[in-house]
Amino acid sequence: MIGSWTFAPADGVPPPVAPFAHATSAGETLYVTGQMPTRTDGTLVDGAIAEQTGQVMANLARVLELVGGTLTDVVQVRAHLLDWNDYAEFNSDVLVEMRFGGGGFFTLDGSYYHYVGNNEPIQDEVSILGAIATPKLGIGNLQPYGRWQWFSPRANSVDLKTFAVDAGLNYLIMGPALRIMLAYEHVDLGNDRHSDAGQLGAQAIFF
> What pLDDT score does 48 carry?
74
Please compute the mean of the pLDDT values over residues 143-150 and round it to a whole number.
Answer: 92
**Does the pLDDT value for residue 142 go beyond 80?**
yes
Verify that 109 and 73 share a domain, yes or no.
no
Residue 124 and residue 144: Cα distance in Å, rounded? Answer: 27
CB 128 within 8 A of CB 109: yes
Final residue of a structural domain among 88, 120, 139: 88
Verify that 49 and 35 share a domain, yes or no.
yes
Residue 178's domain comprises: 92-204
Residue 42 and residue 44: Cα distance in Å, rounded? Answer: 7
Cα–chain center distance at 109: 14
Highest mean pLDDT among 69-73, 104-108, 145-149, 202-206: 145-149
**Does the pLDDT value for residue 182 go beyond 90?**
yes
Verify that 113 and 196 share a domain, yes or no.
yes
> What pLDDT score does 1 carry?
66
H or E, element range at 54: helix 49-66
CB 88 within 8 A of CB 70: no
Verify that 76 and 96 share a domain, yes or no.
no
Q: What is the CATH number of the domain that holds 18?
A: 3.30.1330.40
**Beta pairing class for 93-100 and 104-114:** antiparallel
- The number of beta carbons lying within 10 Å of the beta carbon of residue 181 is 16
Residue 86 and residue 53: Cα distance in Å, rounded? Answer: 11
Cα–chain center distance at 48: 21
Expressed in percent and rounded to 5, the helix, strand and coil fractions of the chain are 15, 45, 35
Residue positions counted in the chain:
207
How big is the chain by its Cα radius of gyration, in Å?
Answer: 21
Verify that 83 and 137 share a domain, yes or no.
no
DSSP state, residue 46: P
**Does the pLDDT value for residue 205 go beyond 80?**
no
Verify that 109 and 28 share a domain, yes or no.
no
Q: What is the pLDDT of residues 17-71, one digit of tens each?
A: 788 888 898 888 889 988 888 888 888 887 777 778 878 888 888 888 888 877 7
Percentage, residues of the chain above pLDDT 70: 84
**Does the pLDDT value for residue 207 go beyond 60?**
no
CB 39 within 8 A of CB 55: yes
Task: List the one residue out of 107, 169, 108 whose CA is nearest residue 144.
Answer: 169
DSSP state, residue 191: T
